[in-house]
């Protein structure tokens, strides 16, 4: 992008801006009957049930533009919503995006943001079918709604886990949080001495997990191929411990989690040690991994082991047993929403 050329948003006006940002949309789904350009989109899911989720991302609360490239932000804004659709065992098909923008953003800056949006739409086969833009007093505000489809009654709730079910997670945990620690540290150094170049110490894995997360479409597809129907599922946006407490509370169960079974990438473990923090605490309490946590019947265990991206980390118990982690040393600790704190 040539930063020398700056087109003010006011030069296009609201409708001109929307036309500019949406001029190259090609619809990919048969369910998208009518997309951008009318008063509303028209969607027909042909006998399937419709799943809807929405997210609000606010500058200074959910993202920091000091270290978040706009293209990455566009990509992530879409992915975090698609993750919620997959967490219902559904397939995302459409999104709408609304933006609140201050005059410090140029048309070129929004083009960068939309490059990321379209990259995510293309990767996940989703259509952008609408949205809105408005002026904002200072910060950048992003609201994304995702719509998906699921065969009747095949959606998976948080409240339907059964006692004895295996507790599973996809991918690895905690890396996005450690990535955030690196970026916040470098921002602080930069703010104190702007001439200093950031030193991210080759930590592209953990930083990538924060700035460019992926939704676990592959896991949902694998479970469908294996004819495994999760009994409960949600995505991990606030940290595993807090999501587990949701599933246990809503399913009226307890659970046992094994520290040694938690999937932790070696890159995350080494990066956590640089900050002198416990990798297990990151895996339990770090947010923004966008992995899936789900429960399945024990009879499905043999199918799960075919996928190395799925880890069985524990099992569901009667509610009286509470929510606990068994440490590598054999100790038993209650899990709280902040995660397990071994410093106490």
Other C-beta atoms closer than 10 Å to the C-beta of 208 total 16
Tokens standing for 269?
């473990």
Average the pLDDT over 284-297 and give the result.
96
120 and 182 part of one domain:
no
* Mean pLDDT value across the chain: 94
* Residue 342 reports pLDDT greater than 60: no
Is the Cβ–Cβ distance between 330 and 175 less than 8 Å? no
Question: Is residue 16 situated within a structural domain?
Answer: yes
296 and 251 part of one domain:
yes
Of 61, 130, 58, nearest in space to 101 by CA: 58
| pLDDT 10s digits, 148-179 | 999 998 999 999 999 999 999 999 999 999 99
Question: Is residue 293 situated within a structural domain?
Answer: yes
Question: Is residue 159 situated within a structural domain?
Answer: no
138 and 279 part of one domain:
no
Tokens standing for 114?
């939309």
Residue 60 — left, alpha, or beta (φ > 0 → left; ψ -120 to 50 → alpha)?
A: left
- Distances from the Cα of 4 to the Cαs of 1, 50, 104, 108, in angstroms? 9, 45, 15, 10
Whichever domain contains 317, its CATH number is 3.90.650.10
CA 302/CA 284 separation, integer angstroms: 26
Is the Cβ–Cβ distance between 131 and 97 less than 8 Å? yes
β 310-317/166-170 pair status: antiparallel
The pLDDT, as a whole number, for residue 3 is 54
Whichever domain contains 59, its CATH number is 3.30.1330.10
* Residue 319 reports pLDDT greater than 50: yes
Tally the domains of the chain: 2
Question: Is residue 341 situated within a structural domain?
Answer: no
Question: Is residue 117 situated within a structural domain?
Answer: yes
The pLDDT, as a whole number, for residue 51 is 97
Tokens standing for 80?
């975090």
187 and 312 part of one domain:
yes
Lowest mean pLDDT segment, chosen from 189-198, 252-261, 289-298: 189-198
134 and 269 part of one domain:
no
Question: Is residue 160 situated within a structural domain?
Answer: no
Question: Is residue 180 situated within a structural domain?
Answer: yes
Chain centre distance of CA 200: 23
178 and 315 part of one domain:
yes
249 and 293 part of one domain:
yes
The pLDDT, as a whole number, for residue 216 is 98
Q: Three-state DSSP class for 334?
A: strand
What's the domain range around 233?
166-334
23 and 140 part of one domain:
yes
| pLDDT 10s digits, 89-137 | 999 999 999 999 998 999 999 999 999 999 999 999 999 999 999 999 9
193 and 140 part of one domain:
no
Question: Is residue 3 situated within a structural domain?
Answer: no
* Residue 326 reports pLDDT greater than 80: yes
H/E stretch holding 241 reads helix 240-251
* Residue 1 reports pLDDT greater than 80: no
322 and 174 part of one domain:
yes
Could you give the dihedral angle defined by the CA atoms of residues 172, 312, 216 and 57, in that order, rounded to the nearest 10 degrees? -60
Chain centre distance of CA 63: 13
207 and 265 part of one domain:
yes
Of the three residues 150, 177, 200, the one that is the final residue of a domain is: 150
Of the three residues 150, 184, 202, the one that is the final residue of a domain is: 150
330 and 302 part of one domain:
yes
* Residue 201 reports pLDDT greater than 80: no
């Amino acid at each position: 992008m040539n930063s020398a050329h700056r087109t003010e948003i006011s030069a296009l006006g609201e409708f001109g801006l929307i036309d500019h940002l949406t001029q190259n949309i090609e619809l990919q789904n048969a369910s998208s009957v009518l997309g951008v350009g009318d008063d509303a989109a028209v969607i027909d899911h042909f006998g399937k049930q419709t799943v809807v989720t929405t997210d609000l991302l606010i500058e200074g609360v959910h993202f920091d533009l000091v270290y978040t490239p706009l293209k990455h932000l566009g990509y992530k804004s879409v992915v975090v919503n698609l993750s919620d659709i997959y967490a219902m065992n559904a397939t995302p098909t459409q999104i709408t995006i609304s933006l609140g923008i201050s005059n410090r953003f140029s048309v070129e800056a929004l083009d960068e943001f939309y490059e990321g949006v379209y990259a995510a739409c293309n990767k996940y086969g989703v259509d952008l079918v609408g949205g809105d833009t408005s002026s904002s007093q200072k910060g950048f505000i992003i609201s994304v709604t995702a719509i998906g489809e699921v065969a009747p009654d095949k959606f998976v709730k948080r409240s339907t886990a059964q006692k004895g079910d295996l507790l599973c997670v996809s991918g690895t945990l905690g890396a996005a949080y450690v990535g955030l620690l690196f970026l916040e540290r470098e921002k602080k150094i930069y703010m104190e001495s702007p001439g200093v170049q950031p030193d991210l110490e080759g930590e592209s894995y953990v930083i990538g997990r924060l700035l460019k997360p992926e939704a676990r479409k592959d896991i949902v597809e694998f479970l469908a191929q294996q004819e495994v129907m999760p009994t409960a599922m949600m995505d991990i946006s606030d940290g595993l411990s807090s999501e587990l407490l949701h599933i246990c509370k809503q399913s009226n169960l307890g659970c046992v989690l094994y520290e040694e079974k938690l999937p932790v990438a070696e890159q995350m473990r080494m990066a956590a040690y640089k900050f002198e923090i416990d990798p297990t605490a990151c895996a339990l309490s770090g947010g923004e991994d966008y992995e899936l946590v789900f429960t399945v019947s024990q009879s499905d265990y043999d199918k799960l082991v075919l996928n190395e991206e799925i880890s069985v980390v524990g099992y569901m118990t009667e509610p009286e047993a509470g929510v606990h982690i068994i440490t590598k040393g054999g100790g038993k600790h209650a899990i709280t929403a902040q995660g397990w704190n071994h410093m106490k």
